Amino acid sequence: MSDLIKKGESDEIEVMPSFNFLLETETEKQTMIAEHRAWLKSIKHERPLPQHPFKVAVYIRYFNQTKHDDYLEYHKQQFLKTIALCPNWDFMGFYVDEGGTAPNMENAEAWSQLLQECYEGKVDLIITQKTSNISKNYVELSFCVRILAALAKPVGIYFISEDIFTLASYYRDDLKDTFFLPGSEWQQLPDDNPDVRGMLHD
């Protein structure tokens, strides 16, 4: 304590200035995930049911790993063994994009192909390791989850690491939230003008 506080001449306490603003974004995200996991533990948890007839696709974001000689093939076999335990699930295939972190969605060819097949009704459950496989931008991720859930035949995503199933009953109200959906003020960008579409990456 300072002399001022010892003598009772001031109620002020000297506080070390915080530099947490440098960690704010990541810390906030980690805190939200931790709080969400704690909440999930407090309720009856829902995951994709093995007896439900899902058309399942596995999305993998692959980058070189040394744990196994052929990590990608090993990873695929582990998925196949697990999916085989659910006889009512039809496996529709693996969709693999390379890279340790997710690029802009429109540059992820396998993810784009998977979305198209969801729109065509060929897939209604996507399994992937973690949310950042799809996007590190939670707004973009939420938008994508809502679009898939709003299809005539809703498509769910199961994120293994976060243990989140997007079509669980306790997410239904959130999925109906129109905040992330396009509004009348949105402008459609032309497909044939890359200079204008470049704004997406700003």
* Per-range mean pLDDT, top range of 17-21, 31-35, 131-135: 131-135
Whether 33 maps to a domain, the answer reads no
Number of domains in the chain: 1
Whether 123 maps to a domain, the answer reads yes
Please provide residue 69's backbone torsions phi and psi, each rounded to the nearest 5 degrees: -60, -45
Instruction: Report the sign of the C-alpha dihedral through residues 127, 113, 148, 136, in that order.
Output: positive
Whether 13 maps to a domain, the answer reads no
Residue 193 binned pLDDT confidence (cut-offs 50, 70, 90): low
Whether 187 maps to a domain, the answer reads no
* pLDDT over threshold 70, residue 7: no
Whether 20 maps to a domain, the answer reads no
Pick from 118, 112, 113, 111: nearest CA to 155: 118
Whether 26 maps to a domain, the answer reads no
Structural domain including 109 reads: 55-180
The predicted pLDDT at position 28 comes to 72
Whether 10 maps to a domain, the answer reads no
pLDDT in tens, 48-86: 999 999 999 999 988 765 555 677 888 899 999 999 999
- Residue 67: which CATH number? 3.40.50.1390
Whether 202 maps to a domain, the answer reads no
Distances in Å between the Cα of 119 and the Cα atoms of 57, 91, 152, 153, 191 are 13, 17, 9, 9, 19
